[in-house]
A and B are shown apart, each in its own frame.
Chain A
Amino acid sequence: MSSSSEISVITQAPQPVTSFGAWLARFHIDLILVVALLAMSALGLFVLYSASGHSASMVFSQGQRLALGLVVMVALAQAPPELYRAAAPWLYSLALLLLLATLLLGQHAKGAQRWLDLGVMRFQPSELMKLAMPIAVAAFLHGRRLPPGLMVLLATLAMIGVPTALIAVQPDLGTALLVLVAGLLALFFGGLRWRWILLALGAGGAALPLLWFKLHDYQRNRLLTFLDPERDPLGAGYHITQSKIAIGSGGLFGKGWLNGTQAKLDFLPESHTDFIFAVYSEELGLLGVLLLLTLYAVIVGRGLVIALRGQDTFQRLLGGSLALTFFIYVFINTGMVMGLLPVVGVPLPLVSYGGTSMVSLLAGFGMLMSIQTHRKLLAA
């Protein structure tokens, strides 16, 4: 095809279909990911039916969002990663502008300004930023000398910091945290030097007291309550106390699907959104939880494998960040529901009832599939 002194890049030629996975790959769909995601989502719909108090309409609308998310995922998988890299500056700028617009024109919901009314639907620009952030950081670091030098690092930090701050003042601490994590993970995979990581951790620790004064009252309460949930069992600690009761009473085998009392009798607040993991644990027990965590581990693991096989820095950083952010998602939500972490508004991926997070998550997996299926033959 080409001389040995040249590196030639040739788009992968169509190959005989030898398996179902290979057949799917022709449509840029990754078999392992799609099976695990579908299993996860199906599980989520069942739990949602129970957690919502047998609301078929909620399950239906969640199903619709799931379908939309899958369509978006498959659509995004069709585009080659290079397209995302090229679009990165535009995507990032658009998300940033929308965030600013939200701050100025956004809709209030539950005391926070997160929504932008687009006429046909309400839209959370912070969800767009969740995707734009790893793309932008990965694209920014792509082709630069890695690990990044000080100037690059500072520029990257600014790229991460501005949107994080904009989301945090909405205030939506949970999403801000995830956007921050997505950016920092891309930086981490970019080979950020350990001394700076340690330095940042040290500085962060020192800044904690300062941060305390910047928190809203309800956020401070959440932290205090996290440290001692029984401090105010009927007030701020109620969520976590009831959640632990739900989980603990589930036991090894659970009370059975639809038999959880904590959610059905309204003791568990937010049972179909942020605290749906407690319902799941109550009804399906430790064995069910192990199944759930295994599925998550498979998804994350597959994401990391795809990242490892990424063909350039952009692909690797983006894939690694997407996969690990997904894990952080799971960890923050379950940790919070178990009482290991303070209460932060982070949904359980693919299970919690809610629109944009489902779509943005599946969009992320669409890009992972794009990385996996748009491989080019590299020859030296």
Chain B
Amino acid sequence: MNVPRPPGRGDSSSLGRGARGPIALLNTSFESMKNLHEEKQAFTTRVWIAAIGCLVMLSILVMRMTDLQVLEHDYYSTRADDNRMRLVPVPPVRGLVYDRNGALLAQNVPAFVLEITPEQLPGKLDDTLARLGQLVRLTDVDIARFRERMRKTPHYRAVALRSNLSAEEVARYEINRYDFQGVDVTAGLLREYPLGTVASHVVGYVSGITDTDLQTIDEASYQGLNQIGKTGIERSHEDQLRGQPGNKIIEANAGGRPLRELDYQQGHAGQNLYLTIDSKLQTTAEAALGELDGAAIAIDPRNGEVLALVSKPGFDPGPFVEGIDGDSYRALLEDPDRPLYNRALLGTYPPGSTIKPFMAAAGLIAGTLNPATKIFDPGYFQLPGVERKYRCYWRQGHGWVDLNLAMTKSCDVYFYQAALNMGIDRIDDVLGAFGFGHLSEIDIPHEKSGLLPTRDWKRRVYRQAWFPGETLNTGIGQGYLTVTPLQLAQAAARMAMRGAGFKPHMLHAIEDPATHNITAIAPEALPRVEAKDRGVFDRVIEAMELVMQPGGTAYAVFKDAPYRAAGKTGTAQVAGLKQDETYAPKLDATPKLLRDHALFIAFAPVDDPRIAVAVIAEHAGHGGTSAAPVARAMIDEYLLGKVLYNAPNTPLAPVVVETIPDEDSDDENPDAGGAPLPPDQPKPGDDASAVPP
């Protein structure tokens, strides 16, 4: 499509003069006319070309628009929505934890949070911080943490500086707030534990969600939340306490500033839990243990509800909630008393003489023990044809003893004989039925099963046959046998119920926060301890009652109790005596870690048992003097509402020491079974539940 060339070699200069009058036009040649005409033709062609070009370009535009607005419409719609919509989680309010009577064990308290919105600060940040520091307490740690958070946060958004202002600090700030543009105090919720240290091992605590937690949780359930239950009820019942986060869909502009709410999906608050714990009993038990390390547990035998569960020492859960600093956490971990370690569930101790009621029951059930038959105790026991002497703690010997006397005096020789008559297999059957050697499956996390030694176990672990001497040691609660305080309390409860029993549990009822409907937790019955004659349990309980009577090892503590109680003292050997040592040194001369553990189990009232107790006081010497007073105080508190017994709890006083003979020692030959702890058993406390803050 070429433009026709004008034929002219005509005078172009005359053509280039622009506008000319009619006179000039008169002189225009015919060729020029033709030229003008052809020029117009050429122009018309060009216009057509241009018009076609415009149409082509218009079609390109329309095609492109169709592509964007029709074919890819869905894709761009999604991207437009992604641009403006933000999913903002609405964290649920965590459920409250009450004791059985409605006293608060864990609550959410409004916390005043000091926040700074960097964008709104009129002057320099440092200046504001310095002036704020004169009104509220600001540590270097606070400021460093704040700067760290600020770096990761958009500038229009408030950043927390302090998370727990005191009322006084709030007041001081409010008076001066006109000086602090860009600084705000807002209210949030902070978990608080009114009983603090006292119930720390029961309730546990919540703390920041860690990377480790993130691997196991469903993150959708934690939207908007930054804390998770770490130990105790807070952990085991996390799902019930947490609730369900809701969601808001908000519209935000390009700067991220929220403008309006588009949609709201309601979550629901966590459920309120009523624990079986009686906080007054818990407090009493905690106080009764005093400075002692150990554990005290009370169970309602009629339904398995745990009324008190104390592990001493406890710890303050508060710092964990606010975010414990490294030094404090390390100090807790390295504390030799191991405050983070829940002895009630994780401590495995030799039961010592507290096993004897269950041995007696086993003998009666097996039919190998006649309660009336008397055995002569010369102060030691010998297996037929063996030189080795298994000592009674009472050097002189108890002389002729029957079951009642053996129980009240805690005669070892009687139980050596009883164990030997039964044999380890029948012992294992009955002790296992009482719950020893098994996890109790209580509803709070981390427990141990202790060890109920059997022939199979011995062969598996030591590749050795079971020796009769080991049966003897088992008979007096030493040797390989270890139990947890919870198992002891549970066994006492089952004895109280004459062989019946319920699974121990801590959850009493659940309350729906919206409807306030309370659902009780039904007790879960366990199979009975099998016995042809129910009378065997009454027979053992009769002997246990005598322990509290004149001549019994717990008489001093229970003599004036206005209810009928049955119990058994125990002293568990921690360190074996060397063969050439004839007698252990006096208690206060022994290094603390080598001193015996004091144990005590009891229940009351005998005919209508409502509480069963087990107490372990580590390295506190004799059960009757150190552990029994704790149990007495607990039973008093629970049955009477007040503690009648108020003897000073001074188990380490020299006066007491002189009355303590070398109970339960069978030390002639540690190899034969008197070893302090079986080698494959970690010492109590070896694996504290170390939960990172």
Interface residues of A (CB under 8 A from B): 6-9, 82, 85-86, 139, 142-147, 149, 185, 188-189, 191, 193-194, 242, 244-252, 261-262, 265-267, 281, 285-286, 289-290, 293, 297, 300-301, 304, 307-308, 313, 316-317, 320, 324, 327, 331, 334-335, 338-340
Does B64 contact A308, Cβ atoms closer than 8 Å?
no
The reply on B268 being an interface residue by CB < 8 A is: no
Stretch at the interface among B252-260, B396-404, B469-477: B252-260
- Across the interface, which residues of A come within 8 angstroms of B3, CB to CB? 147, 191, 193-194
Given A247-B76, A267-B254, A308-B44, the answer on whether A146 and B6 have CB atoms closer than 8 Å is yes
Interface residue from B1, B43, B77 paired with A249 (Cβ < 8 Å): B77
B19 shortest CB reach to chain A, Å: 6
Cα(A251)–Cα(B72), bound, Å:
9
- Across the interface, which residues of B come within 8 angstroms of A320, CB to CB? 43, 46-47, 50
Additional A-B contact list (6), CB under 8 Å, known A86-B18, A146-B6, A281-B65: A9-B22, A146-B42, A149-B12, A261-B80, A265-B259, A293-B61
Quick one: CB contact mask for B259-285 with A, threshold 8 Å, 1 for yes?
Answer: 100000000000000000000000000
The reply on B167 being an interface residue by CB < 8 A is: no
B77 shortest CB reach to chain A, Å: 5
Does B2 contact A290, Cβ atoms closer than 8 Å?
no
Does A249 contact B76, Cβ atoms closer than 8 Å?
yes
Does B47 contact A304, Cβ atoms closer than 8 Å?
yes
- Across the interface, which residues of B come within 8 angstroms of A266, CB to CB? 253-255
B258 shortest CB reach to chain A, Å: 11
Does B19 contact A85, Cβ atoms closer than 8 Å?
yes
Interface residue from A144, A245, A247, A297 paired with B83 (Cβ < 8 Å): A245
- Across the interface, which residues of B come within 8 angstroms of A308, CB to CB? 43-44, 47
A169 shortest CB reach to chain B, Å: 29
Q: Which residue of A lies closest to B19 (CB)?
A: A82
- Across the interface, which residues of A come within 8 angstroms of B79, CB to CB? 245, 248-249
A263 shortest CB reach to chain B, Å: 10
Cα(A201)–Cα(B162), bound, Å:
69
Does A188 contact B15, Cβ atoms closer than 8 Å?
no
The reply on B181 being an interface residue by CB < 8 A is: no
Interface residue from B35, B60, B70 paired with A286 (Cβ < 8 Å): B70
The reply on B648 being an interface residue by CB < 8 A is: no
Does B83 contact A265, Cβ atoms closer than 8 Å?
yes
The reply on B593 being an interface residue by CB < 8 A is: no
Q: Which residue of B lies closest to A334 (CB)?
A: B61
A185 shortest CB reach to chain B, Å: 8
- Across the interface, which residues of B come within 8 angstroms of A267, CB to CB? 80, 83-84, 253-254
Cα(A340)–Cα(B60), bound, Å:
9
Does B62 contact A293, Cβ atoms closer than 8 Å?
yes
Does B43 contact A316, Cβ atoms closer than 8 Å?
yes
The reply on B51 being an interface residue by CB < 8 A is: yes
Nearest 4 interchain pairs by C-beta:
A248-B76, A249-B80, A266-B254, A265-B253
- Across the interface, which residues of A come within 8 angstroms of B47, CB to CB? 189, 304, 307-308, 320
Cα(A349)–Cα(B76), bound, Å:
26
- Across the interface, which residues of B come within 8 angstroms of A293, CB to CB? 58, 61-62
Q: Which residue of A lies closest to B75 (CB)?
A: A248
- Across the interface, which residues of A come within 8 angstroms of B87, CB to CB? none
CB-defined A-B contacts under 8 Å, sample of 24: A6-B22, A7-B25, A139-B18, A143-B16, A143-B17, A144-B16, A145-B6, A185-B50, A191-B3, A191-B39, A191-B42, A191-B43, A242-B83, A247-B68, A247-B69, A248-B69, A248-B79, A261-B84, A266-B254, A267-B253, A286-B66, A289-B62, A289-B69, A316-B43
Does B58 contact A191, Cβ atoms closer than 8 Å?
no
The reply on B534 being an interface residue by CB < 8 A is: no
B33 shortest CB reach to chain A, Å: 9
Given A85-B18, A265-B83, A320-B43, the answer on whether A251 and B77 have CB atoms closer than 8 Å is yes
Does B54 contact A324, Cβ atoms closer than 8 Å?
yes
- Across the interface, which residues of A come within 8 angstroms of B57, CB to CB? 327, 331
The reply on B305 being an interface residue by CB < 8 A is: no
Q: Which residue of B lies closest to A262 (CB)?
A: B80
- Across the interface, which residues of B come within 8 angstroms of A307, CB to CB? 47
The reply on B155 being an interface residue by CB < 8 A is: no
Interface residue from B35, B62, B80, B251 paired with A145 (Cβ < 8 Å): B35
Quick one: CB contact mask for B69-98 with A, threshold 8 Å, 1 for yes?
Answer: 110110111011101100000000000000
The reply on B40 being an interface residue by CB < 8 A is: yes
The reply on B10 being an interface residue by CB < 8 A is: yes
Cα(A304)–Cα(B43), bound, Å:
11
The reply on B691 being an interface residue by CB < 8 A is: no
Does A244 contact B39, Cβ atoms closer than 8 Å?
no
Cα(A282)–Cα(B511), bound, Å:
52
- Across the interface, which residues of B come within 8 angstroms of A143, CB to CB? 15-18
Does B46 contact A247, Cβ atoms closer than 8 Å?
no
Interface residue from B15, B69, B83, B259 paired with A262 (Cβ < 8 Å): B83
Given A189-B47, A245-B76, the answer on whether A286 and B251 have CB atoms closer than 8 Å is no
Q: Which residue of A lies closest to B76 (CB)?
A: A248
Does A145 contact B10, Cβ atoms closer than 8 Å?
yes
Given A193-B3, A331-B57, the answer on whether A281 and B69 have CB atoms closer than 8 Å is yes
Does A189 contact B69, Cβ atoms closer than 8 Å?
no
Cα(A304)–Cα(B48), bound, Å:
9
The reply on B5 being an interface residue by CB < 8 A is: yes
Give residues 1-57 of B contacting A (CB, 8 Å). 1-3, 5-6, 8, 10, 12, 15-19, 22, 25-26, 35, 39-40, 42-44, 46-47, 50-51, 54, 57
Given A145-B35, A146-B39, A249-B79, the answer on whether A191 and B46 have CB atoms closer than 8 Å is yes
- Across the interface, which residues of B come within 8 angstroms of A262, CB to CB? 80, 83
Q: Which residue of A lies closest to B16 (CB)?
A: A144
Given A143-B17, A262-B80, A331-B61, the answer on whether A316 and B75 have CB atoms closer than 8 Å is no
Cα(A143)–Cα(B254), bound, Å:
58
Does B51 contact A247, Cβ atoms closer than 8 Å?
no
Does B73 contact A290, Cβ atoms closer than 8 Å?
no
Q: Which residue of B lies closest to A185 (CB)?
A: B50
- Across the interface, which residues of B come within 8 angstroms of A289, CB to CB? 62, 65, 69
- Across the interface, which residues of B come within 8 angstroms of A149, CB to CB? 12
Cα(A316)–Cα(B50), bound, Å:
13
Q: Which residue of B lies closest to A88 (CB)?
A: B18
Cα(A205)–Cα(B6), bound, Å:
31
- Across the interface, which residues of B come within 8 angstroms of A324, CB to CB? 50, 54
Cα(A297)–Cα(B591), bound, Å:
104
B85 shortest CB reach to chain A, Å: 9
Quick one: CB contact mask for B222-258 with A, threshold 8 Å, 1 for yes?
Answer: 0000000000000000000000000000011111000
- Across the interface, which residues of B come within 8 angstroms of A317, CB to CB? 43
Given A85-B19, A265-B83, A338-B65, the answer on whether A145 and B12 have CB atoms closer than 8 Å is yes
Cα(A313)–Cα(B18), bound, Å:
10
Does B18 contact A248, Cβ atoms closer than 8 Å?
no
Does A248 contact B73, Cβ atoms closer than 8 Å?
yes
